Amino acid sequence: MGDIAIRTVGLSKLYHTGSKQEPYKTLRDTLTEAFLSPIRRVGRLIRGQATGAAELNEPFWALRDLCLEIKHGEVVGIIGRNGAGKSTLLKILSRITEPTHGFAEIHGRVGSLLEVGTGFHPELTGRENIYLNGAILGMKRADIKRRFDEIVDFAEIEKFLDTPVKHYSSGMYMRLAFAVAAHLEPEILMVDEVLAVGDIAFQKKCLNKMREVGKGGRTVLFVSHNMQAVTRMCQRAILVNEGRIKEDGPAGRVVASYMNAGLLNVPEREWPDPATAPGGELARLRAVRVRDGEGRVADLIDVTSQIMIEMEYEILKSGYVFAPNFGVWNEEGICIFASLDVDPAWLGRRRPSGRYRSRAIIPRHFLKEGTLFVNADLVTLDPMTVQCNEHQVVSFSVVDSGSGLSARGGYNGRMLGVVQPLLEWKTERLDS
């Protein structure tokens, strides 16, 4: 067991849809409670007693008999569809949630960055939360002080260091939370995909820091929908499906298996309720669709047809320059291309609030045959922030039916490359 950092046996977690789950009280909760006044504690107790649990509904197993071992120094990607159980696994390993059955052994100090809002106490300042988190990790005050300036510089929140974190924006909170989790020398670092929202430059900074942590011989668990990040950063990947491990092995092989698993294509996604639509304070995504050359929503499109990617979104606050954009990824987790809204009518202009639809046309004879996945983003420019970053939001398949001229000519074998353009050729006979 000396080389094992994480071990789970029969790990299971049961939820009841419609019921209010009682949170698992961690050591952090216990320690931060001491910072609250008795009046606040009584008030919170009263509010808790006044809130009744919702009526129980259907049981739902978020994890079911999950067994795994991760060695010290491994960098492991956890992948799978939304609702597969990835985040629940990290919450149990981070001692935020307790399992229904089974157990998890953790050998080493854990730094975790899961949901924005976990890990800090809102009434304490940024400075106080840094020292508190270090103390929970078992670090001496002198060791925390030695890393303090590095944490603050990385998080870029020096002006707000002595402000209670409840007044931080979600971006500031996330920057400080990641800086603390990555710099206080955890032996095991767990990161859920909270990095998908926020400043793009800081996302790159975080990924670089995670690579550095992994190369330093520490264990990293990285939950992500970004297959390119997983294959580049992780040696090993674990595919979770319906609460169970479906595949475990080299990252490239598992990612390829996941992307090529024969999942049903989903050419259209809508969010009719704006309150639950993905997005931030400035904008929310309302729909993404794939249409064929006839304008029909389609999950199977011939190479001879145009393809339209359509995004509907709602801008909540006026006065910002928006750049709706999307990326198209293939089954191997490779980004084929990305495209931003360059409509001259709105390019560089600040948009008023309201509902918008943006459409982009992919030309005929461009994409290669296979299953393709679309990531949809809503981004503001100057300053650049990501309001929404939805991975694999829709998918479709491109086929070459052979009904017309294509890049294949008369060849029926496997075409190389990531695109399949029909280029103009001219051939002349020289000996005539």
pLDDT tens digits for range 15-67: 875 555 544 444 445 445 554 444 444 444 434 444 444 444 678 899 999 99
- The most confident of 130-139, 184-193, 254-263, 275-284, by mean pLDDT: 275-284
For residue 132, the domain's CATH number is: 3.40.50.300
Tokens describing residue 310:
């359509």
* 226-232: long-range pairs with CB below 8 Å, 24+: 226/193, 226/196, 226/391, 227/79, 227/255, 227/258, 227/259, 227/329, 227/333, 228/329, 228/333, 228/334, 228/335, 230/77, 230/79, 230/255, 230/333, 231/255, 231/333
- Specify the residue for token string 């067994």: 67
Q: How many CA atoms lie within 13 A of 401 on its CB side?
A: 9
Residue 254 in any domain: the answer is no
Residue 336 in any domain: the answer is yes
Residue 426 in any domain: the answer is no
Instruction: List the domain range (segments joined by +) for residue 10.
Output: 4-58+86-217
Residues 181 and 98 in one domain: yes
Tokens describing residue 293:
């050359």
Structural domains counted in the chain:
2
User: What's the pTM?
Assistant: 0.58
Cα angle for residues 274, 276, 227 (degrees, 5° grid): 120
Residues 185 and 41 in one domain: yes
Residue 387 in any domain: the answer is yes
Residue 252 in any domain: the answer is no
Residues 203 and 290 in one domain: no
Residue 419 in any domain: the answer is no
Asked whether 5 and 108 are in contact (CB, 8 A), the reply is yes
Integer Cα distance of 261 and 240 in angstroms: 13
Residues 294 and 198 in one domain: no
Q: Mean pLDDT over residues 281-290, rounded?
A: 95
* SS3 of residue 211 by DSSP: helix
Residues 124 and 208 in one domain: yes
Residue 160 in any domain: the answer is yes
According to DSSP, residue 231 is labeled H
Asked whether 58 and 16 are in contact (CB, 8 A), the reply is yes
54 closest CA partner among 19, 101, 29, 106? 19
Kindly report the backbone phi and psi dihedral angles of residue 107, in degrees, each rounded to the nearest multiple of 5, phi listed first: -115, 90
29 closest CA partner among 138, 117, 109, 121? 121
Residue 230 in any domain: the answer is no
Tens digit of each residue's pLDDT (9 = 90 or more) over 184-232: 778 898 888 655 545 667 777 887 888 888 888 889 998 887 776 787 7
Residues 203 and 294 in one domain: no
Residues 168 and 53 in one domain: yes
Asked whether 124 and 116 are in contact (CB, 8 A), the reply is no
Q: Does position 313 have pLDDT exceeding 90, yes or no?
A: yes
Residues 32 and 136 in one domain: yes
- The most confident of 83-87, 174-178, 375-379, by mean pLDDT: 375-379
Residue 16: what pLDDT? 74
Residues 306 and 376 in one domain: yes
For residue 382, the domain's CATH number is: 2.70.50.60
H helices of 94-198, where?
Answer: 126-136, 141-155, 170-183
- Specify the residue for token string 């950092």: 5
Asked whether 14 and 59 are in contact (CB, 8 A), the reply is yes
